[in-house]
């Protein structure tokens, strides 16, 4: 009833959340990914290599199939710098898009998410 325990299961909420994420193995997987990410990012020499390292390691870590890196190239305008498996692929070649456009990239920019 609003506390840290579920009245029907009698287990702490954290334990239920961890079991949904893969149980006690989740922290072990995170601890092996962090050094791999640090190594890949340290070796990156260009923004494209940084994006590739983030996509290679980050997408599987969060169960995503696509992502994009955008930047504000002019007031109210965003440009796709790098993308993988993203609907923004068409925008990567098309140039820029408005920060007021619908979609998650513009929304993330507007809200700071």
Residue 78: Cβ-neighbour burial (10 angstroms; 0-12, 13-18, 19+): buried
Average pLDDT in the 7-16 region? 39
Give the pLDDT band (50/70/90) at residue 45. very high
51 CB-near residues (< 8 Å, 6+ apart)? 69, 81, 82, 84
Average pLDDT, the chain: 75
Q: What is the pLDDT of residue 75?
A: 95
Give the pLDDT band (50/70/90) at residue 29. low
How many Å apart are CA 75 and CA 88, to the nearest integer?
Answer: 20
Q: What is the pLDDT of residue 22?
A: 47
Q: What is the pLDDT of residue 28?
A: 53
Question: Is residue 64's pLDDT more than 80?
Answer: yes
């Amino acid at each position: 009833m609003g506390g840290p325990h579920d009245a029907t299961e009698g287990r702490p909420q954290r334990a239920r959340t961890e079991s949904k994420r893969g149980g006690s193995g989740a922290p072990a997987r995170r601890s092996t990914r962090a050094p791999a990410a640090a190594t890949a990012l340290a070796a990156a020499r260009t923004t494209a290599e940084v994006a590739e390292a983030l996509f290679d390691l980050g997408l599987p870590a969060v169960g995503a199939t696509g992502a994009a890196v955008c930047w504000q190239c002019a007031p109210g305008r965003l440009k796709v710098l790098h993308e993988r498996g993203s609907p923004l692929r068409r925008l990567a070649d098309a140039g820029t898009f408005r920060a007021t456009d619908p979609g998650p990239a513009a929304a993330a920019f507007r809200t700071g998410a």
